[in-house]
Amino acid sequence: MQAAPPSTARHAIWRSPAKVNLCLRVVGRRRDGYHLLDSVFVPIDLCDELRVTVDAIGRGVPTRIEVQCDRADVPEDASNLAARATAALLAERELGASVRIVIAKTIPPGAGLGGGSGNAATVLRALNTWLGLDIAPPRLRELALALGADVPFFLVGAPARVRGIGEDVQPIADFAALALVVAIPPVAVSTAWAFRAFAELVPSPVASGDEAARLAAGAPPTQALLVNDLERVVLPAFPAIAELKRRLLASGAEAAVMSGSGAAIIGVVPSRADAERLAAEVRTRAPEVAVYAVGTDLPEVDRVGSTA
C-alpha cells in the first residue's frame, strides 16, 4: 500500500483584540450618507482566538474558505469578515488556497467592541506576513477600509484618534495605560440602525467639542471627556444599557460611556484590582450581564498575531 504524500498544510493561532471608544463625536455627514466621526479608539486585552489552516496555496488553485465559530450569531459563510479579508488578500496576489478559520469568540457581536473588524484586521496583517505576500501597508489599509470602517484602526492596533469614516487613524504616542470594566447587557444594537436613528434626530451634525483632541493630547479620561453622541438614540431605545451605565457610575467607576454603537458600557477605574472588584459586584447584582476587567496595555504579540 502506497503511503499518502505529506501534508503541505500550515497552521497558525492568532489572538484578535477588541476595542473601546473613549469618546465618539459625530461631526458631519458625507453626500453618500456616511457619517464623519472624531473618536478615540483603544485596544483592550479582551481577545478572540483565530485558528487558521492554509493548504494548497498557489496560482490557478481554486480558493475555498471555510469558517467555523462557536457562536450561532456569527456568520460562517463568505460574509464573515475574516473570510472576506482572506479572500481579498489572496485575490490581491492572484492566488488561490484552501483556508480553514476556526473562531473562538470572547467578544460578543453587536456590542460596539469591534470583534468582527478585529478578526478581519488580524487576518489581513498576520496572514500577509505569515504567507510572505508582501502587500505594502498603504494597500493593506485600502483593503481594510473596503472591509469596514473600524478595520484600519485594528491594523494599527494601538490607541489612536480616528476620524473621517475610519480612514484617518493617528496613533497616540505615550498613551497612559487604563484599567477598565467592560459590561455587556444581553442585547445587541445594530450599528446601521443607530446611525439611521441619529440622522433622524440630528439631520445635519455640526462640529462637536474637542474631547477627542484633548484625550489624544494626554488629558485623563474624565466623565466630561467620555462623550458618545450615539447614546442620544441608543440609551432611550435600550433601557438596559442606560441602567448599566448608571450602575457602573453608582458602583465607583470614575467615568463611564457606551462603546461604539453599543451595547457595551465601559467604566474607568484606578487599577486592575478595582476593575476586578467592580466587575465582581456587577456580576453579583446583574448575573445576566457579561462583565470583564480589562487593561489597555496589550503586548505586541496580541496586536500583530502570533503563529504556531
Helix (H, G, I), strand (E, B) or coil at 141: helix
| CA dihedral of residues 227, 238, 43, 125 (deg, nearest 10) | -120
Active site (annotated) includes residue 19 = yes
For residue 183, the cross-strand partners are 265, 291
Active-site position among 19, 38, 229, 302: 19
| Cα–Cα distance measured from residue 60 to residue 210, given in angstroms and rounded to the nearest whole number | 52
Active site (annotated) includes residue 48 = no
Q: How does DSSP classify residue 203? A: S
Active-site position among 48, 150, 274, 302: 150
The closest of 98, 90, 96 to 133, measured between CA atoms, is 90
When computed from its CA atoms, the radius of gyration of the chain, rounded to whole angstroms, is: 20
What residues contact 240, with CB distance under 8 A and at least 6 apart? 185, 186, 187, 263
- Which cell goes with 41? 479608539
| Residues classed as catalytic | 19, 150
